[in-house]
Amino acid sequence: MKVWFLGTGAGRPNKQRNVTSMALQLPDSESGWWLFDCGEATQHQLMHVPLKLSKLERVFVTHMHGDHVYGLPGLLSSRSFAGGITPVTLYGPAGIKSYVETVFALTGTMLDYDLTFHELEEEELSTVYDGGRFSVSAGPLVHRVPCFGYRIAERSTPGPLLADKAKSLGVKAGPLFGKLKSGETVTLEDGTVIRPEDVTDGVIRGRVVTLLGDTSPCDMSLTLAKEADLLVHEATFAAGLEEKAHEFGHSTTVEAARTALAAGAKGLAMTHFSGRYSNEELAKLAAEAAAVFPNVIAATDFSSVEISRPLPDREGSGL
């Protein structure tokens, strides 16, 4: 599983970085990917990474500011030209449906696939998608307009199947092996119940990725980022500019690091940098955060972060 940074700038593009967009590339066994925010020219940025527009499955918008949505109608339109025919679901704040449909109506845009909208309500925390292997929760952040952060959680699965042990308990190789590997409990012909934890080597913990929209420090950021393998947090301004950051609903580098530390996150990727900072200055911004939370990077356009599946936890109490 990998996060691609398609745009890492705030407000407007410059020669070194485009406006905000990120992509979550699903595990190798999955064929698709998800998009988070879609600033202007995101479809151009996609040409520089190994993601096919036709394989896009879901779009999650954090808020309706232009640097996060101006690229959306064009990208959705181009997906048809790229051979995309499978459905796409779009999640975002109230108004996202009207925005996209109005642009399509005025431009005569027709899609070759079904586009479904899921507008979010400003609740404390809610599950907006549950697809079996992954679930996505959304929660409201602190910004100048309604804005959300997203927590993508992968379900834990049994570790490697201990085939010899399963056979010794009467499980025949075949479909029952497959069910146990996928975490299902099976019942043998004689009524014996075999649980996955009885015949597997520990538990493989599911990964968690938290992608926040624009925000000042808040409790919801901590909730969404709790023990995340990767937290993606905006860092619009350098340390010392907290007052200016909060005036516009943003955070500084040190505040992003404090959130990662308080949430118990394992890694932090900072993005959404003000145009006042050149890419050469990003090392300084990363160093500010690293003084609080060492495992941090300052993301650049087209960079990526791999989130590896952990080894089985042999002391886990179950799925």
- Active-site residues: which are they? 67
Which residue matches tokens 């399963």?
Answer: 166
Q: Is 65 annotated as a binding residue?
A: yes
Which residue matches tokens 């990998």?
Answer: 2
Instruction: State the chain's maximal CA–CA distance in angstroms.
Output: 71
Question: Mind spelling out the 3-state secondary structure of 147-189?
Answer: CEEEEEEECCEECCECHHHHHHCCCCCCHHHHHHHCCCCEECC
Its sign, for the CA torsion 149, 11, 302, 300, is: negative
- From residue 95, how far is each of 65, 120, 244, 277 by CA, in Å? 11, 10, 28, 32
Helix ranges (H only) for the chain are: 42-46, 66-69, 72-81, 96-107, 163-168, 175-181, 219-225, 242-247, 253-263, 282-290
Q: Is 48 annotated as a binding residue?
A: no
**Whether 257 contacts 268, CB under 8 Å:** yes
73 Cβ contact partners less than 8 Å away, ≥ 6 residues apart:
99, 100, 103, 104, 107, 109
Q: Is 233 annotated as a binding residue?
A: no
Q: Is 143 annotated as a binding residue?
A: yes
Q: Is 68 annotated as a binding residue?
A: yes
Q: Is 44 annotated as a binding residue?
A: no
Distance between CA 318 and CA 247 in Å, rounded?
A: 46
Token digits of residue 247: 């005036």
**What residues are designated binding site for Zn(2+)?**
63, 65, 67-68, 143, 214, 272
**What residues are designated binding site?**
63, 65, 67-68, 143, 214, 272
